[in-house]
């Protein structure tokens, strides 16, 4: 049997997983690929700390240039993470005529167009299944299995850390700070969790999925991003009472004049499967005009789940070695651009809303608030007014709107907060019915 040699830059959680799974399942993987896949060279910052990999690979080093310059290596695998030196490594590998496999969603979200253009010019493949939702084959499904469909929307729980925190807050009735601390102790959150809890990681991923869904460039810089850092238990509890679960969702939707691209905490009806995805698990719902709604569910991170996706990409590349680039699956699924992919401003988003308004307990308060919504053409679906706490003279109005323009809702909030009867900032959460 022929062999194909790969070079792996990065020997951390993901890179180590790739080496272990390749070694453990070599016979099965080789039979599927039609060639034996050999890890010739692995680079990492501290190879002296990865003696566990020595029996599994050809050699360990620190210089990724060794991979780029080795003519025997056909596939350059990137598991370093971050922007640099990962970007330089991938571009150098492409220039050297090597195929690339990466799990780097941040790099692709910010520099994917540059990388894909370089690969197209050299006629090499860039595979990136593991960049979104870990072990879930969502990119392959969208890029290949759903090609008959005009994609209507992609909505997903695509950050396990945030999902774990929200699940813990709801089930254990603990604060955001307590849930974050728990996630950090269990290894689900970094010491600096900003990328996860502020929605940036999810925005990287939904930007990639949006480009595959609609055939345009990656538009991370145009995404609306709102995290879960300020979410309060009281709103999770109100959502429960109203029949919803709060999830951090990445959302992209087709609209007549463009697409929506946003990440934010969202109320999901408890009757939907997505509402019941808990812990660190990921799930992505893709809606096509022919197939309807499809749901993809599984581990969104971790050493071997991510390695599973990366090795699947390696096998795909091995199968395509020697095949003309004209016969390769297009990197984003489109041979040519056919879609209007302008990202709409957030003000042009249309959805339903949850609002919690702190007010004084005085006559006419509800009428004043309702009048503002009527003036803005916003219809109220349901309303709860909590009894005032004795001696405090204040209460909360919780309401759900029918679908409305984001810009209209934001203007209504501005006007309501200016009323004498309103105390403090209004809490807003968006709602998705996922019909």
Per-residue pLDDT for 67 more than 60? yes
Common-topology check for domains 138-299 and 346-431:
no
- Looking at residue 422, its pLDDT comes to 93
Annotated catalytic residue within 5, 105, 205, 222: 205
**pLDDT category, 392, cuts 50, 70, 90?**
low
- Looking at residue 372, its pLDDT comes to 96
- Looking at residue 9, its pLDDT comes to 96
Span 156-210, pLDDT tens digits? 999 999 999 999 999 999 999 999 999 999 999 999 999 999 999 999 999 999 9
- Looking at residue 1, its pLDDT comes to 56
Per-residue pLDDT for 339 more than 70? no
Which of 3.30.465.10, 3.40.640.10, 3.40.440.10, 3.30.70.260 is the CATH number of 346-431? 3.30.70.260
Q: Is 205 a catalytic residue?
A: yes
Q: How many CA atoms lie within 13 A of 40 on its CB side?
A: 18
Nearest alpha-carbon partner for 315 in 78, 47, 52, 36: 36
**Domain limits, the chain:** 3-135+303-327, 138-299, 346-431
- CATH 3.40.50.300 matches 3-135+303-327: no
Per-residue pLDDT for 53 more than 60? yes
- Looking at residue 145, its pLDDT comes to 95
- CATH code of 138-299, in short, is 3.30.360.10
229 conformational bin, left if phi > 0, alpha if psi -120 to 50, beta if neither: alpha
Quote the DSSP letter at residue 273: G
Place of tokens 């204040």: 394
Give the dihedral of Cα atoms 269, 270, 275, 278; nearest 10 deg: 150
Residues 6+ apart with CB under 8 A from 16: 50, 52, 53, 303
Per-residue pLDDT for 123 more than 70? yes
Give the dihedral of Cα atoms 284, 288, 290, 294; nearest 10 deg: 10
**pTM, 2 dp:** 0.94
- Looking at residue 414, its pLDDT comes to 97
First to last CA, the chain: 50
234 vs 390 pLDDT, higher one: 234
- Looking at residue 22, its pLDDT comes to 95
Question: 292-299 and 281-288 as β-strands: parallel, antiparallel, unpaired?
Answer: antiparallel
- Looking at residue 107, its pLDDT comes to 97
Average pLDDT over residues 66-81: 96
Average pLDDT over residues 107-131: 95
Per-residue pLDDT for 391 more than 60? no
């Amino acid at each position: 049997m022929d062999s194909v040699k790969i070079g792996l830059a990065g020997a951390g959680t993901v890179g180590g997983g790739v080496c272990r799974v390749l070694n453990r399942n070599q016979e099965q993987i080789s039979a599927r690929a039609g060639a034996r896949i050999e890890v010739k060279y692995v680079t990492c910052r501290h190879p002296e700390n990865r003696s566990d990999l020595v029996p599994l690979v050809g050699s360990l080093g620190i210089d990724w240039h060794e991979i780029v310059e080795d003519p025997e290596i056909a596939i350059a695998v990137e598991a370093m993470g971050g922007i640099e030196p990962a970007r330089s490594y991938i571009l150098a590998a492409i220039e050297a005529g090597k195929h690339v496999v990466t799990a780097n969603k941040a790099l692709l979200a910010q520099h994917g167009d540059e990388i894909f253009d370089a690969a197209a010019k050299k006629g090499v493949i860039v595979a990136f299944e593991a960049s979104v939702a870990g072990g879930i084959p969502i990119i392959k499904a969208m890029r290949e299995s759903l090609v008959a469909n005009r994609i209507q929307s992609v909505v997903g729980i695509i950050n396990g850390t945030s999902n774990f925190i929200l699940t813990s807050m709801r089930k254990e009735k603990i604060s955001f700070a307590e849930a974050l601390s728990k996630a950090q102790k269990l290894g689900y959150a970094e010491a600096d969790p900003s990328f996860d809890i502020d929605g940036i990681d999810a925005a990287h991923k939904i930007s990639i999925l949006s480009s595959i869904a609609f055939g345009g460039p990656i538009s991370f810089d145009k995404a609306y991003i709102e995290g879960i850092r300020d979410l309060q238990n009281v709103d999770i509890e109100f959502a429960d009472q109203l029949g919803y679960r709060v999830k951090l969702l990445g959302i992209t939707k087709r609209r007549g004049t463009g697409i929506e691209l946003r990440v934010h905490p969202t109320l999901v009806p408890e009757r939907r499967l997505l509402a019941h995805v808990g812990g660190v698990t990921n799930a992505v719902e893709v809606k096509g005009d022919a197939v309807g709604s499809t749901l993809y569910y599984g581990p969104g991170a971790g050493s071997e789940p991510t390695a599973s996706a990366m090795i699947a990409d390696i096998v795909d590349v091995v199968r395509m070695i020697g095949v003309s680039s004209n016969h390769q699956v297009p990197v984003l699924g489109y041979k040519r651009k056919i879609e209007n992919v302008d990202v709409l401003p957030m003000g042009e988003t249309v959805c339903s809303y949850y609002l919690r308004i702190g007010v004084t307990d005085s006559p006419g308060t509800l009428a004043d608030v309702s009048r503002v919504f009527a003036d803005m053409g916003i219809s109220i679906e349901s309303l709860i007014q909590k009894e005032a706490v004795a001696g405090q003279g204040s209460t909360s109005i919780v309401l759900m709107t029918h679908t409305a323009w984001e810009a209209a809702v934001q203007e209504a909030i501005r006007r309501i907060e200016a009323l004498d009867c309103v105390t403090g900032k209004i809490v807003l959460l968006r709602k998705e019915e996922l019909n």
